[in-house]
Structure 1
Amino acid sequence: MNRAARCLYTLIWWLATPLVLGYLWRRGRRQPEYRRDWGERFGRYEAPAQSRPTLWLHAVSVGETRAAAPLVEALLQRHPGHRLLLTQMTPTGRATARQLFGERVELAYLPYDRPDAVARFLDRFRPELGVLLETELWPNLIHACAERGMPLHLVNARLSERSLAGYRRVRGLIAPALARLGAVAAQSADDAERLRSLLDPGTSGPVFSVIGNLKYDFAADPALVARGQTWRAAAGTRPVWLIASSREGEEALLLDALARRPIGGLLVLVPRHPQRFDVVAALLTARGLSWRRRSEWNGADPLEQDVLLGDSLGELAAYLAMADLTVMGGSLLDFGCHNLIEPCAVGVPVLIGPSTFNFAEVVRDALAAGAARQADDADGLLALVDQLLADPTGRAAMAQAGRELVQRNRGALARALAVIEPGLRHDGPARPAHSS
């Protein structure tokens, strides 16, 4: 049964290849980067081979790449004799990695999960050890690594109840793959139990541990924080509120609510995906708001418009440092919320909508600590914005609660390293990991 499921899965990948190419071409209309590097999607790479041992990390897109930043920095520091290969599936993830790490890591797309493409990837890079971040369970890839005797771990692993229901429908495919992982280092005990429940009864499977959430080991770039503070001065005495990582449909809801409930001050609106910058710009124009693009502003001239459109990558920490409070995108509609740990770490009060399944435990802790507040809809969120902008004491208390929440939950980095490093070839004295 399990072997038949994998054969069917592989056949579907082969039959779907023309559809996948069509998808890349269509996505390329709005984001031309999707029309580049197609060879890498199928395991064909131009980068020259290297003799150094390779440590491979996979972070599917922007959120996972940012979450991986403390781990990447620690591994670069502690294992200078290794080449660090970082793979993604999206151009925005790749661009984020380049901004965060420059030329210190090698970047490539992880190929689609066809056996031939996976084999070419492993033949080309010959990783000594692999790390999949969060919820990346690719059956052919996992089996290929196991058959080559290459340790492959799932780190910072999470699995929501919604995702668990989906995986259960293909359990005959997922269970044998999960069993061949070396280790699963989960964010929480609930995540670990949900993943363990996918294994076949009686299967020994990987070594499970609970390490916490790597996102809590995030440290904002001081240069970006200073940049945001400079921007804040350009706004003058007006309050500044941020809508961070907004998703499709959310901007329209919030802007319509803003028309019903005007809020003074400067709105900084930062869409999650760069291909939507122009779409959001059109929404602002259609609603008669005065606005300015970050890409057309030098960061010093006075900001007199209603809205600053954050059409830049890699500057989220600066936008956060600029803001008196933030509304976290992905939470108003059914996207499951985006990372609210970053604003807490920077000391910015957080407002969230009803959809939080991707960060359920973090949201629960942030609400309990008083670092975040929640509303059911766009009007409710703007009512909270209005209330908090008029309450500097309340904002300061939320900001402090956020910083303390992050500080209490640090430590996942050291625990992740304890899972990964035993499988690495020794390349000199390893310095201690820092999560400041």
Structure 2
Amino acid sequence: MYLFYNIVLTILFFLAFPYLFIRGIFGRHGVLQRLGKLPQPIRHLAQNGNLIWIHAASVGEVKALGPLVDTIKFLNPNYKIILSNTTRTGKNQAEKILKNVDGFIFAPVDLPGVVQHVVKTLNPKILILIETELWPNMIRKAKESGSVVSLVNGRISPRSYKRYLYFKSLCRAVLEYVDLFCMQTEEDANRIKTIGAKPDKIIITGNLKFEAFLWQKFQKRFTKEGLKLSPDLRLLVAGSTRPGEEEIILESYQKLKEKFPNLLLILAPRHLKRLRNIEELLSQRRFSYVRKSKWLKKSDRSRIPQVLILDSMGELAEVYGLADLAFVGGSLVPLGGHNPLEPAIFGVPVLFGPHIEHYRKAADILIGAQAAVQVKNCQEFVDSALKFLNNNGDPNILAQKVKTAIQANCGTAQNSIIEIFKLAK
């Protein structure tokens, strides 16, 4: 099965090579690093030995790494840490927030020769893969070089699980090279066991993202004044919305507006390429709207729009902090949802839909803390929103309840690293 995987990947690589070549010429996309040519500072770090290579795909995984990296340095400060990322935004975010990482690289293309060269250069004592980053050649070559290979914060979504079952023989071959699986939940543990992991290599350590939320220093970079909004306005922030959700949100907002005339909707679609589609929908529904970037440039703001569209990347988490109520998208449609802890950590009550599979544990924690409600249609959205908006509770009290609930689910980083270090002795 490895042979079949490598043949298919090689064909795909050569088909994509012209595109990669152009990106390498016109942008900083790390093409040479992805092909195994690491910069001199990284090669110098590797010469000192005692290196841990952590691989995380993108921004979402990077944000969870703070406690893990700090735990490694606390338990053994002699280790050097190299972090690889698949996406440029993930690498940029990592360089910004992970001060205890010694070096950052783009992840190599998972071709045998490329990965073997990177493994030989880095010579990692430990390879840590985050969540679902099960790259066959990376795992095999690292293990064959003598590395301890582990999956941390491991999860297998229902959709991924179905795909893995189609390639069960390849999965079994790949997972044979992994020494330890630190899985988020019992369900994740059962799934990875079904697709080929040995039971004695599996432990359940919880979700790293819970303690990552306490590790991050959440600050409200935005204020209503900074967004040129009246302090009298109440804000409903709908974040990471997907097609099929905006219609329900707008219908619900229209009904809420009858009860709360000073309620402003801040709408943040998951993908900015959909901004024009959002504007067309708002025009069809006869909502007044403006993009945030244009709103801030206006000289006359006497006419407040009904909808403010967030049209910039990386600001949603802070904008959540201004909300009186938040809706977390990707959950009214079957896409697995997004992280409901992002608004809740500010003491903002949260609504989300029934499709919250990717963050089920976080959703259950918030529901248990009476900080969130799951809704499945417009009527439930409106009913739950009215209860929260009429309550006028102290956000500081709600934020403390959320933090206390999260603290009860911490320990993932320490438990995972202790077990990995045992294997690395």
The TM-score normalised by the length of structure 1 is 0.80
Shift of 1:336: 0.2
Residue pair 1:10, 1:114 contacting (<8 A) in 2 also: yes
Q: For 1:351, what is the secondary structure of its paired residue? A: strand
- Write the distance in 1 (CA, Å) between the matches of 2:273 and 2:65: 23
Given the superposition, is the C-alpha separation of residues 283 and 130 from structure 1 closer, same or farther in structure 2, using an over 3 Å criterion? farther
Q: Does structure 1 residue 225 correspond to structure 2 residue 224?
A: no
Given the superposition, is the C-alpha separation of residues 111 and 157 from structure 1 closer, same or farther in structure 2, using an over 3 Å criterion? same
Structure 1 segment 292-303 matched on structure 2, within 5 A: 292-293=291-292, 297=296
Match of 1:37 in 2: 30
- Write the distance in 2 (CA, Å) between the matches of 1:156 and 1:198: 17
Q: Structure 1 residue aligned with 2:2, among 1, 6, 16?
A: 6
Match of 1:392 in 2: 392
> Residue deviations 1:182-215, cap 9 Å, x none?
1111111221122112227xxx576221111111
Given the superposition, is the C-alpha separation of residues 367 and 17 from structure 1 closer, same or farther in structure 2, using an over 3 Å criterion? same
Letter in 2 for 1:122: V
Given the superposition, is the C-alpha separation of residues 221 and 158 from structure 1 closer, same or farther in structure 2, using an over 3 Å criterion? closer
Q: Does structure 1 residue 129 correspond to structure 2 residue 126?
A: yes
Q: Structure 2 residue aligned with 1:210, among 204, 219, 230?
A: 204
- Write the distance in 2 (CA, Å) between the matches of 1:353 and 1:282: 24
Match of 1:267 in 2: 265
Residue pair 2:323, 2:348 contacting (<8 A) in 1 also: yes
Letter in 2 for 1:128: K
Aligned length: 411
- Write the distance in 1 (CA, Å) between the matches of 2:373 and 2:19: 38
More divergent stretch after superposition (70-79 vs 132-141): 70-79
More divergent stretch after superposition (211-220 vs 97-106): 97-106
Given the superposition, is the C-alpha separation of residues 44 and 288 from structure 1 closer, same or farther in structure 2, using an over 3 Å criterion? farther
Provide the aligned C-alpha RMSD in A. Answer: 3.6
Q: Does structure 1 residue 61 correspond to structure 2 residue 61?
A: no
Match of 1:414 in 2: 414
Structure 1 unaligned runs (5+)?
A: 426-436
Match of 1:140 in 2: 137
Structure 1 segment 229-248 matched on structure 2, within 5 A: 231=226, 234-247=229-242
Structure 2 unaligned runs (5+)?
A: none
Shift of 1:251: 4.1
Shift of 1:274: 5.5
Letter in 1 for 2:8: I
Shift of 1:78: 5.0
Shift of 1:248: 5.0
Match of 2:12 in 1: 16
Residue pair 1:185, 1:419 contacting (<8 A) in 2 also: no
Q: Does structure 1 residue 111 correspond to structure 2 residue 108?
A: yes
Q: Does structure 1 residue 345 correspond to structure 2 residue 320?
A: no
- Write the distance in 2 (CA, Å) between the matches of 1:47 and 1:235: 53
Q: For 1:224, what is the secondary structure of its paired residue? A: coil
Shift of 1:41: 2.7
Match of 1:190 in 2: 187
Match of 2:322 in 1: 322
Shift of 1:39: 2.4
Residue pair 2:347, 2:395 contacting (<8 A) in 1 also: no
Letter in 1 for 2:56: A
> Residue deviations 1:273-299, cap 9 Å, x none?
46556765676677653324269849x
